[in-house]
Amino acid sequence: MSIPVIVQYKIKVQIDKAWKALTEKHEMKSWYFDIPDFELEVGKVFNFYEPGDEKKYHHQCEILQIIPNKKLKHSWAFPELSKGMTTVTWELNKQGEKTVITLIHDEIDNLKELGENFSRESFAQGWNGIIGQSLKPYLEK
């Protein structure tokens, strides 16, 4: 059984604003990735690359579950590199005047043949950077 990466941050922002940052492509572009084909609908597939011109890793995801202002779950795969698929779940919970954002990246062992850049440690470091150094300051500005 795979041990998920769980990253959690408490951010001083209303839950609806956090939801918009996670689900509207023009907002995502400001703190996350540029995802032109993102549509908030179960079954929709979206694609993106890491920032820059290198386009080293093609990410392909499919939206699996939407609970507005609560949860967004999607697959996470690198189709040119592996048949392995993982899942990413974003959960939002109101806590007073703050929103607790919990990210759960599960089934990472499905990518273990890809090596160290796709390890639990690598994903944990990446998600902490994305949420702690990008999303949190973006929402709290």
Write out the chain's pLDDT in tens, 141 residues: 689 999 999 999 999 999 999 999 999 999 999 999 999 999 999 999 987 667 789 999 999 999 999 999 999 999 999 999 999 999 999 999 999 999 999 999 999 999 999 999 999 999 999 999 999 999 999
Note the Cα 136 to chain centre separation in Å.
13
Q: How far apart (Å, rounded) are the C-alpha atoms in residues 108 and 124? A: 11
pLDDT in the model for residue 1: 63
pTM of the model as a whole: 0.95
pLDDT in the model for residue 90: 98
Question: Which residue blocks in the chain are alpha helix, DSSP H?
Answer: 15-23, 25-31, 120-128, 136-140
- 86 within 8 A of 109, measured Cβ to Cβ: no
- Is 141 in a helix, a strand, or coil? coil
**Nearest in space to 45 (alpha carbons), one of 64, 72, 28:** 64
- 84 within 8 A of 60, measured Cβ to Cβ: no
Residue matched to tokens 């973006």: 138
pLDDT in the model for residue 2: 80
Beta-carbon contacts of 26 under 8 Å, excluding residues fewer than 6 positions away, are none
